[in-house]
């Protein structure tokens, strides 16, 4: 029997689950669904975004409502228009085989008449943002006086955004006899107040740690001089060729400024903040979703609705004032069972904030170094070589081959490879070979000494850096690759360090004494029929900066390495990945 069936879901939902490719229920689904199906109860569920909570309340809601009746029976309140649409879309997919169900989204910035028309047709489930909902109640367009279920999604975000009174108003239009299900990533005082005020003996479930960030996220910080924030940001992007990232700034002005600079420097970047019109925000979000924009620079408020699963890195260009906000920021990555990295660019004087965040999220930060120019060149070079290897040959080129052969006649293979790679690589090399170290070197203010750095112990004398031709696409992260290497080489925990995984390749360090052993072990080494190749990297002093994934880079066209539209590649597996080992 499928795991979803064991939770008590009816056939129509099980068919939808099968279509969606969900194989195992996520933790929040496993905990919430049976409770909600079996009893009429209030529920408080603490769960991060991206943990599958829409289905955790969506499945029971769909199963419980009477689709033969046109009355509005379920109301879902969500903080932003983005999320509201996302929930509606997901719910529509879930209810695909449930005849007669009408799920309508109500949100600001779109025609109220259209939404009113949809409501009039009879919507058993309404998904709404608080502002527009209140407006529609006031105008008598929507009637929620007979609902049986009210869901407050991302309650902490709604309260953060100042919707307390709106929520209170809306709830006062609902019957006392109903079930309220509250979902929240964190449990600040305001959320507890809502729970106390509007709920009766709610059952509580917690997914992961209360108030803790998602554990699939690795937290890193980079100490730089105040004026080096922007160049540091560029290096972090360049050191992670597949980056698909949200970059958080504190103010709208900084957000706009950083986005403009990135665009000027040839990156595929966009800005998202409150001074933009709804239309401009929609445009940038659409481009981001399609990965045409790879670096989305955003304010906290504007980013609240971002619900995109594949974000590889969250970059804190500046730290937020509130620690709670950091949890929300970093929760934008590491979603749907994928791993993610939250990077903080910080000056020495702000270092104490890191300890405060660590206490809150109950996870350690890793201190990392901004990669040197040469390291970035090396990463980009390997990335380019891999891209060439992976590129599907375009058959239409065949007709031109004789002419191309004529042009390239007399150039041998090695020279040809060098030339092809140079076409793209020189631009990068020319820029980075002249740049300086961006890491702040004054240690007077440093946090406790001997902390983990690059995930491991401090660099040692005679350290050798290696390149290995496996990476995240082969299922490794820095921890599992380190385990693999230690295991194969029979080395101790401390002997392999600075493990830095990219999409299709990785780097690691050992002391020089192990080099013969490593080269010997991997001289003829296969896993699943594939040769695992290890080489000494040309950059032995590497600091192991990046630590991310990548997609096509190098195709940018401007000054010092920018993104070009329509890049693709990398290892973003959505449904197929979900199928195997979600959570």
Which residues in this chain contact ligand AMP in the complex, by CB under 6 A? 22, 25-26, 29, 49-55, 90, 307, 309, 335-336, 578, 582
* Dist. CA 291–CA 295, nearest whole Å: 9
Q: Please, which residues bridge with residue 536 across strands?
A: 466
Please, which residue, 156 or 454, has the CB nearer to ligand AMP? Answer: 156
Question: Where would I find the H helices in 239-372?
Answer: 252-264, 278-289, 300-303, 323-330, 351-361
Residue 273's SS3 state is: coil
Q: Are 62 and 94 in contact (CB under 8 A)?
A: yes
Tally the C-alpha atoms within 13 A of residue 545's C-alpha that lie toward its C-beta.
32
Least distance to ligand AMP, CB of residue 483, Å: 26
Least distance to ligand AMP, CB of residue 574, Å: 8
Please, which residue, 29 or 73, has the CB nearer to ligand AMP? Answer: 29
Please, which residue, 29 or 372, has the CB nearer to ligand AMP? Answer: 29
Least distance to ligand AMP, CB of residue 475, Å: 17
Question: Where would I find the H helices in 433-523?
Answer: 478-489, 515-521
* Dist. CA 335–CA 312, nearest whole Å: 9
* Dist. CA 79–CA 97, nearest whole Å: 28
Residue from 5, 7, 14 nearest 33 by CA: 7
Least distance to ligand AMP, CB of residue 458, Å: 38
Please, which residue, 49 or 255, has the CB nearer to ligand AMP? Answer: 49
Least distance to ligand AMP, CB of residue 430, Å: 42
Residue 108 is encoded by which pair of tokens?
Answer: 């600001």
Least distance to ligand AMP, CB of residue 61, Å: 13
Long-range contacts at 2-10 (CB < 8 A, ≥ 24 apart): 3/30, 7/33, 7/34, 7/37, 8/33, 8/34, 8/37, 8/38, 9/33, 9/37, 9/59, 9/63, 10/63
* Dist. CA 77–CA 64, nearest whole Å: 18
Please, which residue, 336 or 489, has the CB nearer to ligand AMP? Answer: 336
Residue from 106, 80, 111 nearest 298 by CA: 80
Tell me, rounded to whole angstroms, the distance of Cα 506 from its chain centroid. Answer: 21
Q: Are 219 and 354 in contact (CB under 8 A)?
A: no
Please, which residue, 151 or 319, has the CB nearer to ligand AMP? Answer: 151
Please, which residue, 328 or 383, has the CB nearer to ligand AMP? Answer: 328
Least distance to ligand AMP, CB of residue 186, Å: 15
Please, which residue, 29 or 386, has the CB nearer to ligand AMP? Answer: 29
Neighbours of 177 (CB within 10 A): 8
Least distance to ligand AMP, CB of residue 211, Å: 18
What are the residues whose beta carbons fall under 8 Å from the beta carbon of 39, sequence distance 6 or more? none
Tally the C-alpha atoms within 13 A of residue 6's C-alpha that lie toward its C-beta.
9
Q: Please, which residues bridge with residue 328 across strands?
A: none
Least distance to ligand AMP, CB of residue 5, Å: 13
Least distance to ligand AMP, CB of residue 154, Å: 10
Please, which residue, 51 or 506, has the CB nearer to ligand AMP? Answer: 51
Please, which residue, 50 or 471, has the CB nearer to ligand AMP? Answer: 50
Least distance to ligand AMP, CB of residue 158, Å: 16
């Amino acid at each position: 029997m499928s795991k979803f069936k064991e939770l008590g879901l009816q056939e129509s939902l099980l068919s939808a689950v099968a279509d969606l490719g969900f194989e195992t229920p996520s933790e929040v689904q496993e905990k919430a669904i049976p409770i909600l199906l079996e009893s009429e109860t209030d529920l408080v569920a603490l769960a991060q975004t991206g943990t599958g909570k829409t289905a955790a309340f969506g499945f029971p809601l769909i199963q419980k409502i009477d689709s033969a009746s046109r009355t509005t029976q379920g109301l879902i309140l969500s903080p932003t228009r983005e999320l509201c649409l996302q929930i509606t879309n997901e719910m529509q997919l879930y209810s695909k085989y449930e005849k007669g169900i009408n799920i309508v989204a109500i949100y600001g910035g779109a025609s109220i008449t259209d939404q009113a028309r949809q409501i009039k047709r009879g919507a058993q489930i309404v998904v709404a943002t608080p502002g527009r909902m209140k407006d529609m109640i006031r105008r008598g367009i929507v009637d929620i006086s007979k609902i049986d279920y009210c869901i407050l999604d991302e309650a902490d975000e709604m309260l953060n955004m100042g919707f307390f009174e709106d929520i209170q108003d809306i709830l006062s239009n609902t019957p006392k006899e109903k079930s309220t299900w509250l979902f929240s990533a964190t449990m600040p005082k305001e959320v507890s107040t809502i729970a106390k005020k509007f709920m009766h003996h709610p059952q509580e479930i917690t997914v992961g740690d209360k108030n803790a960030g998602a554990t699939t996220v690795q937290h890193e910080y980079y100490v730089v001089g105040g004026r080096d924030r922007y160049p540091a940001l560029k290096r972090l992007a360049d050191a992670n060729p597949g980056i698909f990232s949200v970059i958080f700034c504190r103010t709208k002005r900084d957000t706009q400024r950083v986005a403009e600079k990135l665009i000027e420097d040839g990156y595929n970047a966009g800005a998202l903040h409150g001074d933009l019109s709804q239309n401009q925000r929609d445009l940038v979000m659409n481009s981001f979703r399609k990965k045409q924009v790879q670096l989305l620079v955003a304010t906290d408020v504007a980013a609240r609705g971002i619900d995109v699963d594949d974000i590889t890195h969250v970059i804190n260009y500046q730290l937020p004032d509130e620690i709670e906000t950091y949890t929300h920021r970093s929760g934008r990555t590491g979603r749907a069972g994928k791993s993610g990295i939250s990077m903080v660019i910080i000056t020495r004087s702000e270092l104490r904030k890191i300890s405060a965040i660590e206490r809150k999220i109950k996870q350690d930060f890793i201190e990392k170094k901004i990669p040197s120019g040469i390291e970035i060149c090396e990463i980009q070079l390997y990335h380019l070589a891999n891209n060439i290897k992976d590129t599907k040959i375009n058959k239409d080129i065949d007709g031109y081959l004789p002419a191309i052969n004529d042009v390239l006649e007399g150039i041998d293979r090695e020279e040809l490879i060098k030339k092809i790679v140079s076409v793209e690589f020189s631009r990068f090399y020319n820029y980075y070979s002249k740049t300086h170290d961006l890491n702040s070197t004054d240690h007077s203010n440093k946090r406790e000494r001997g902390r983990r750095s690059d995930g491991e112990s401090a660099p040692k004398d005679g350290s050798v850096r290696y390149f290995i031709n496996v990476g995240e696409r082969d299922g490794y992260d820095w921890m599992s690759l380190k385990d693999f290497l230690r295991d194969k080489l029979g080395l101790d925990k401390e002997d392999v360090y600075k493990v830095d995984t990219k999409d299709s390749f990785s780097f690691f360090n050992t002391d020089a004494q192990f080099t013969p052993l490593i080269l010997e072990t991997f001289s003829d080494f296969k896993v699943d029929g594939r040769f695992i190749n290890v080489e000494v990297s040309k950059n032995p002093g590497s600091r192991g900066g990046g630590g991310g994934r990548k997609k096509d880079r190098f195709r940018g066209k401007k000054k010092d390495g920018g993104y070009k539209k329509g890049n693709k590649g990398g290892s973003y597996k959505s449904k197929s990945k979900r199928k195997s080992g979600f959570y």
